[in-house]
């Protein structure tokens, strides 16, 4: 990895799919199938990438250093033969910044009375 | 289906750049298979299909992206930089999406086109998978291209080939064959395994240790036969097949060293062969050493021979080399002199694959050609649909052109649609092919070699891809060339025309003519096959096959060392079987009709020695137990049949077939003549002919009967095949196969270690004899039926379309006084002319092409006028019927309505 630390804000705004992938990996390591399921569930079925499309996104995130291949966890929750992904520190910070950005947008919307629900 | 879809996905994954595949390939394949399994469980077949289609498209889009857009940022090698490429791909993806959307708006058109293309591609893929596995792929042996089968011709006795090998020749070729790496000899036998469990009779081979070197297949476990292994003195070693090891010994890993009883003799298991080892046949379960010492006698032509050529040597070179050495054979084997001098034998080396594949190769190529024609018809049909579609959209296209769409853009528009359709069609075709190949392997008709190797693999997929592209181009390009050139005119009259131009009709007529011509060729081909099949079914086999049960009983020579004891057992069993309820008559023979030559020798007549240097014709030898002729109803033509006293009192009586009498003593009485299979017997060994029976078909139904001599179970010279392996024939009053259990009980009361082998009815034997013709006929008939149907649909579509375009013209004609009959006749004439032209072209094509099937035909010539006339009539009638419906519609046109619509 390069020693020069990339600026997380340079990745914003994230594409819809990328952000969903980062969210799916937020609290655990996942293999592709599980990420796909998570994305589909979280988006209420609006976002349902094909295997090819999902891995396309994973590859880009991997190249950008936001996610990385991860060994299977030692406990029984994972299967050692499968290929897992997890967030990198950079990925975590980018996800946080994106959430922050969206949050600010929602706050603006609320200030202009465009949106009245709670988050 | 799911495993096939996953396999295809894995293959398609290879399209990604290697770096991508290394990082993500496994994960993607795994995710795809998980999704597929889940979808099949919860969404049914429709959801499954949708998912597969979506995933494949997603994968291909990903490939396009990886290969072109996200390709490593190298300096552009040519003038088109990455940015251009990116745009091209994006446009392409966009166009594919739009094409799918357009096709989805016309579901009728789309589904008809996809099904038509799917049928064509499916049939081609299925037949190609057979061609690929049986003909193209090398045999599953290392250096299979160097393997040859050794056999001989003997012009001196009228044999052009098929004379196998002797022990002496095996030794001779091993010593003298300087262009051969190794020579092996083997015999095919059947043995009974009698260890714990039910005794079974299995096909086996007794092979020289050199067979391992010739084939070069290492055993899965243990070792192959070695030079110092012997089979004598009541003990030996054995190598098992993978199938036997699994089924009988539960794939026991400690099988090596275990002793099993074969024909009541202990054998030590020293090896297990891998599952794809199928030599000499798929059925072979055991290999036992056959020892042929250096000082062997010359022996009879009862061995089979194979050899491996030295690297870089052709079969013909090695054959010429061996033939040049043959004259020195009598120096080593003095009693082989007549084989050289009189029979004039010469060696023939046949590439092993030709031998294994046999005459099915030609059938398969013909079938592939046939389904190729079906695909052509399917493509013309779809092309025609596209033409209609293009015309309907003329206005849209004119507008596009007027707005600046380039020629290239319009071509892309059509090509994208045709590509999307063909890809969908080929997916359907692949599924059809996969299903039908599975079905065929499951049905497993005998006489089709290497059937277990058939499957859908890489080369088959490549073939499918190739014909898919070809099909897409064929029917994608036709409408493009046919595109209107008069944009201005089309825009001006708003798409209305009084009648379509001449050019459009002639393009359509050309399609009709092509379809009818191709259908004609296919129908003639299948018509000829149907007639061959009919003749073959009507060949008199020489016996009455209804209600006869047959099975083999083989007696181990350890327990029945001589013929007397074996004959006594067989007679005892026959007596018991005759008393079974439901059995009308019981008999036994050493080799059933239709199974081949089995064993044969030249027959000599007492007191009439042949001229020096002449060997009498070879006749097939059979040993029969009393009751055989009665049970099979082979008619007695003169004299008497053999009975029990013939073998009990060793009368040396024989019965011969009518064909033999015709060959040896035409127009004479054969009864009382004395004969012997071989020259110079002892005086008391001559046999006396006591009866003449009707001919039976010995080999293929189409070959005609061979001369036969039937010996009793036991006689002084014992010239008949030994009575240790006999096939019993029971004529029954109940359905034959119902008796099997009762028969087995009778056998086991006499000897509980004897299994019943090859249990079947004579009727099954006959249908097996014609199965290859049945198989070819069935496939050709299906292909021709599909061609006829597609052709009729095509003609109907074209004529209907033409009628609808000519509505106003017809209206004017009717207004001017044309009767309904005139209009009908006009339309029928147009269709009829095209059909007649098609038939004429088809006849010419069929005359040229059916010659290729001469070898498959029986009793009918490839230019059989009856078949040609019948097919032409059927085809013309079908086309006219297809034209009649639109013709009636045309005659019913209301002139007022038609003109008002303008």
**What confidence category does residue B484 fall into, taking pLDDT thresholds of 50, 70 and 90?**
very low
* Rg, Å, chain B Cα set: 35
Please give the structure tokens belonging to residue A101: 């950005």
Look at residues B602, B597, B828 and name the one whose alpha carbon lies nearest to residue B697.
B597
Are B59 and A62 a contacting pair at CB < 8 A?
no
Look at residues B401, B345, B42, B383 and name the one whose alpha carbon lies nearest to residue B172.
B345
Look at residue B854 and tell me whether its pLDDT is greater than 80: yes
Look at residue A2 and tell me whether its pLDDT is greater than 50: no
Residue A37 is assigned to a structural domain of this protein: yes
Q: For chain B, what percent of residues have pLDDT higher than 90?
A: 27
Predicted local confidence at residue B480, as pLDDT: 61
3-state SS assignment for residue B293: coil
Chain B hits for A61, CB-CB cut-off 8 Å, are none
Predicted local confidence at residue B504, as pLDDT: 56
The pLDDT tens digits for B154-196 are 877 667 777 889 899 999 999 988 899 999 999 888 888 887 7
Contact of A50 with chain B, judged by CB distance below 8 Å, is answered with yes
Nearest residue of chain A to residue B54 (CA atoms): A50
Are A31 and B65 a contacting pair at CB < 8 A?
no
Q: What is the mean pLDDT of residues A5-9?
A: 78
Are A58 and B66 a contacting pair at CB < 8 A?
no
Chain B interface residues facing chain A, Cβ-Cβ under 8 Å? 20, 23-24, 26-28, 30-32, 34-35, 54-55, 57-63, 65-66, 70
Please give the structure tokens belonging to residue B560: 């029945």
Predicted local confidence at residue A3, as pLDDT: 47
- Across the interface, which of B30, B57, B62 has its CB nearest the CB of A56? B62
Look at residue B899 and tell me whether its pLDDT is greater than 80: no
- Across the interface, which of A31, A33, A59 has its CB nearest the CB of B35? A33
For residue A82, the enclosing domain spans 15-91
Of A104 and B774, the one with more pLDDT: A104
For residues B588 and B622, what is the distance between their CA atoms, to the nearest angstrom? 10
Of A3 and B99, the one with more pLDDT: B99
* Rg, Å, chain A Cα set: 16
Look at residue B498 and tell me whether its pLDDT is greater than 50: no
Contact of A31 with chain B, judged by CB distance below 8 Å, is answered with yes
**What confidence category does residue B6 fall into, taking pLDDT thresholds of 50, 70 and 90?**
confident
In CATH, what number is assigned to the domain containing residue A62? 1.10.10.10
- The Cα of B472 is separated from the nearest Cα of chain A by a number of Å equal to 25
Nearest residue of chain A to residue B28 (CA atoms): A51
The pLDDT tens digits for B30-75 are 899 888 888 877 777 777 888 888 888 888 888 877 776 655 544 4
Q: Which of A30, A48, A50 to mutate to test the interface with B (most CBs of B within 10 A)?
A: A50
Predicted local confidence at residue B232, as pLDDT: 59
Are B35 and A58 a contacting pair at CB < 8 A?
no
Whole-model pTM: value is: 0.66
- Across the interface, which of B20, B26, B54 has its CB nearest the CB of A83? B26
**What confidence category does residue B334 fall into, taking pLDDT thresholds of 50, 70 and 90?**
confident
**What confidence category does residue B223 fall into, taking pLDDT thresholds of 50, 70 and 90?**
very high
Predicted local confidence at residue A79, as pLDDT: 64
Predicted local confidence at residue B58, as pLDDT: 85
Neighbouring C-alpha atoms within 13 Å toward the C-beta of B105: 7
Residue A6 is assigned to a structural domain of this protein: no
3-state SS assignment for residue A3: coil
The pLDDT tens digits for B438-460 are 888 887 776 677 888 888 888 88
Are A32 and B27 a contacting pair at CB < 8 A?
yes
Are B20 and A52 a contacting pair at CB < 8 A?
no
Least confident residue range of B232-236, B288-292, B327-331, B425-429: B232-236
The pLDDT tens digits for B132-141 are 988 888 888 8
Range B217-226 burial, b when 16+ CB lie within 10 A, else e? bebebbebbe
CA B91 to chain centre: 47
Q: How many CB pairs under 8 A join A and B?
A: 59
Look at residue B125 and tell me whether its pLDDT is greater than 50: yes
Question: What is the pairing mode between strands B674-676 and B604-605?
Answer: antiparallel
Contact between B520 and B842 (Cβ < 8 Å): yes
Contact of A69 with chain B, judged by CB distance below 8 Å, is answered with yes
Are B23 and A59 a contacting pair at CB < 8 A?
yes
For residues A66 and A60, what is the distance between their CA atoms, to the nearest angstrom? 9
The pLDDT tens digits for B64-122 are 777 766 555 444 444 444 556 777 788 888 888 888 888 888 888 888 889 888 988 99
Contact of A33 with chain B, judged by CB distance below 8 Å, is answered with yes
Residue A75 is assigned to a structural domain of this protein: yes
Chain A hits for B57, CB-CB cut-off 8 Å, are 50
Q: What is the mean pLDDT of residues B562-589?
A: 93
Q: What is the tally of structural domains in chain A?
A: 1
| B82-105 helix and B107-130 helix, angle to the nearest 10 degrees | 110
Look at residues B212, B280, B227, B270 and name the one whose alpha carbon lies nearest to residue B245.
B270
Residue A44 is assigned to a structural domain of this protein: yes
Residue A54 is assigned to a structural domain of this protein: yes
Residue A9 is assigned to a structural domain of this protein: no
Look at residue B819 and tell me whether its pLDDT is greater than 50: yes
Q: What is the mean pLDDT of residues B500-519?
A: 74
Q: What is the mean pLDDT of residues B258-272?
A: 89
Are B62 and A69 a contacting pair at CB < 8 A?
no
Residue A76 is assigned to a structural domain of this protein: yes
Residue A59 is assigned to a structural domain of this protein: yes
Are A58 and B24 a contacting pair at CB < 8 A?
yes
Predicted local confidence at residue B79, as pLDDT: 46
For residues B545 and B736, what is the distance between their CA atoms, to the nearest angstrom? 11
Contact between B556 and B589 (Cβ < 8 Å): no
Are B61 and A59 a contacting pair at CB < 8 A?
no
Predicted local confidence at residue B505, as pLDDT: 58
Are B61 and A58 a contacting pair at CB < 8 A?
no
- The Cα of B93 is separated from the nearest Cα of chain A by a number of Å equal to 14
């Amino acid at each position: 990895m390069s020693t020069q630390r990339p600026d997380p804000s340079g990745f914003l705004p994230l594409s819809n799919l990328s952000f969903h992938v980062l969210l799916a990996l937020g609290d655990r390591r996942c293999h592709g199938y599980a990420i796909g399921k998570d994305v589909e569930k979280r988006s209420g079925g609006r976002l349902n990438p094909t295997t090819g499309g999902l891995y396309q996104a994973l590859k880009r995130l991997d190249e950008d250093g936001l996610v990385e291949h991860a060994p299977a966890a030692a406990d029984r929750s994972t299967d050692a033969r499968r290929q897992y992904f997890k967030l990198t520190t950079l990925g975590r910070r980018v996800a946080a910044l994106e959430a922050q950005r969206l949050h600010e947008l929602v706050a603006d919307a609320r200030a202009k009375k465009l949106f009245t629900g709670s988050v | 289906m799911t495993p096939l879809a996953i396999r295809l996905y894995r293959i398609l994954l290879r399209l990604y750049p290697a770096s991508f595949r290394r990082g993500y390939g496994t994960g993607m394949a795994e995710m795809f298979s998980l999704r597929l399994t889940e979808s099949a469980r919860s969404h049914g077949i429709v959801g499954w299909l949708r998912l597969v289609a979506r995933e494949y498209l997603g994968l291909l889009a990903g490939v396009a992206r990886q290969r072109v857009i996200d390709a490593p940022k190298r300096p552009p090698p040519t003038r088109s930089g990455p940015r251009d490429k990116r745009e091209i791909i994006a446009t392409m993806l966009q166009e594919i999406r739009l094409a799918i959307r357009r096709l989805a708006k016309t579901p009728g058109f789309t589904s008809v086109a996809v099904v038509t293309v799917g049928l064509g591609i499916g049939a081609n893929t299925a037949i190609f998978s057979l061609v690929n596995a049986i003909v193209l792929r090398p045999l599953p042996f290392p250096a299979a291209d160097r393997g040859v089968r050794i056999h001989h011709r003997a012009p001196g006795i009228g044999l052009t080939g098929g004379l196998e090998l002797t022990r002496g020749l095996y030794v001779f070729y091993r010593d003298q064959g300087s262009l051969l790496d190794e020579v092996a000899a083997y015999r095919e036998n059947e043995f009974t395994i009698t260890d714990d469990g039910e005794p079974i009779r299995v096909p086996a081979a007794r092979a020289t240790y050199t067979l391992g070197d010739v084939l070069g297949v290492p055993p899965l476990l243990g070792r192959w036969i070695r030079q110092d292994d012997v089979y004598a003195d009541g003990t030996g070693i054995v190598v098992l097949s993978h199938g036997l090891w699994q089924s009988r010994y539960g794939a026991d890993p400690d099988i090596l060293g275990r002793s099993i009883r074969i024909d009541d003799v202990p054998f030590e298991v020293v090896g297990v062969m891998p599952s794809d080892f199928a030599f000499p046949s798929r059925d072979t379960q055991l290999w036992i050493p056959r020892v042929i010492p250096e000082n062997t006698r010359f022996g009879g032509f009862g061995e089979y021979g194979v050899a491996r050529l030295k690297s870089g040597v052709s079969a013909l070179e090695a054959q010429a080399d061996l033939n040049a050495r043959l004259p020195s054979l009598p120096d080593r084997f003095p009693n082989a002199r007549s084989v050289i001098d009189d029979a004039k034998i010469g060696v023939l080396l046949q590439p092993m694959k030709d031998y294994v594949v046999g005459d099915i190769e030609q059938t398969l190529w013909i079938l592939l050609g046939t389904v190729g024609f079906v695909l052509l018809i399917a493509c013309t049909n779809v092309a025609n649909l596209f033409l209609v579609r293009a015309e309907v959209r003329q206005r849209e296209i004119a507008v596009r052109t007027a707005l600046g769409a380039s020629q290239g853009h319009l071509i892309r528009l059509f090509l994208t649609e045709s590509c999307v359709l063909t890809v969908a069609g080929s997916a359907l075709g692949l599924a059809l092919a996969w299903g039908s190949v599975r079905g065929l392997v499951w049905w497993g008709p005998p006489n089709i070699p290497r059937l277990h190797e058939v499957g859908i693999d890489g080369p088959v997929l490549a073939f499918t891809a190739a014909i898919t592209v070809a099909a897409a181009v064929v029917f994608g390009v036709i409408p493009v060339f046919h595109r209107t050139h008069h944009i201005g005119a089309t825009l001006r009259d708003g798409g209305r025309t009084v009648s379509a131009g001449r050019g459009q009709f002639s393009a359509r007529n050309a399609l009709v003519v092509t379809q009818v011509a191709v259908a004609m060729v296919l129908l003639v081909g299948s018509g000829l096959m149907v007639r061959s099949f009919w003749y073959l079914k009507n060949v008199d086999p020489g016996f009455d096959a209804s209600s006869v049960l047959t099975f083999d009983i083989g007696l181990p020579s350890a327990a029945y060392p001589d013929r007397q004891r074996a004959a006594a057992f067989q007679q005892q069993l026959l007596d018991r079987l005759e008393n079974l309820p439901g059995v009308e008559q019981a008999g036994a023979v050493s080799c059933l009709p239709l199974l081949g030559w089995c064993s044969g020798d030249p027959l000599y007549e007492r007191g009439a020695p042949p001229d020096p240097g002449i060997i009498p014709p070879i006749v097939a030898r059979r040993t029969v137990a009393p009751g055989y002729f009665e049970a099979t109803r082979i008619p007695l033509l003169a004299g008497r049949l053999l009975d029990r006293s013939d073998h009990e009192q060793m009368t040396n009586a024989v019965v011969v077939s009518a064909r033999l009498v015709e060959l040896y003593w035409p127009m004479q009485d054969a009864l009382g003549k004395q004969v012997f299979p071989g020259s110079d017997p002892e005086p008391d060994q001559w046999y006396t002919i006591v009866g003449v029976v009707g001919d039976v078909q010995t080999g293929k139904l189409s070959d005609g009967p061979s001369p036969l001599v039937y010996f009793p179970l036991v006689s002084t010279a014992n010239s008949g095949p030994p009575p240790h392996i006999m096939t019993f024939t029971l004529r029954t009053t109940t359905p034959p196969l119902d008796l099997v259990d009762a028969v087995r009980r009778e056998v086991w009361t006499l000897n509980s270690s004897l299994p019943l082998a090859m249990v079947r009815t004579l009727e099954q034997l006959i249908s097996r004899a014609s199965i290859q013709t049945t198989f070819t006929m069935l496939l050709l008939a299906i292909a021709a039926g599909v061609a006829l149907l597609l052709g009729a649909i095509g003609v109907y579509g074209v004529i209907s379309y033409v009628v609808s375009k000519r509505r106003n013209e017809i209206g004017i004609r009717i207004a001017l006084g044309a009767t309904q009959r005139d209009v009908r006749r006009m339309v029928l004439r147009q269709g009829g002319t095209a059909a007649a032209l098609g038939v004429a072209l088809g006849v010419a094509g069929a005359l040229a092409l059916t010659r290729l099937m001469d070898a498959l035909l029986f009793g009918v010539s490839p230019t059989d006028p009856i078949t040609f006339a019948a097919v032409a009539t059927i085809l013309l009638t079908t086309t006219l019927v297809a034209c009649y419906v639109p013709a009636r519609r045309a005659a019913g046109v209301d002139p007022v309505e038609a003109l008002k619509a303008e």
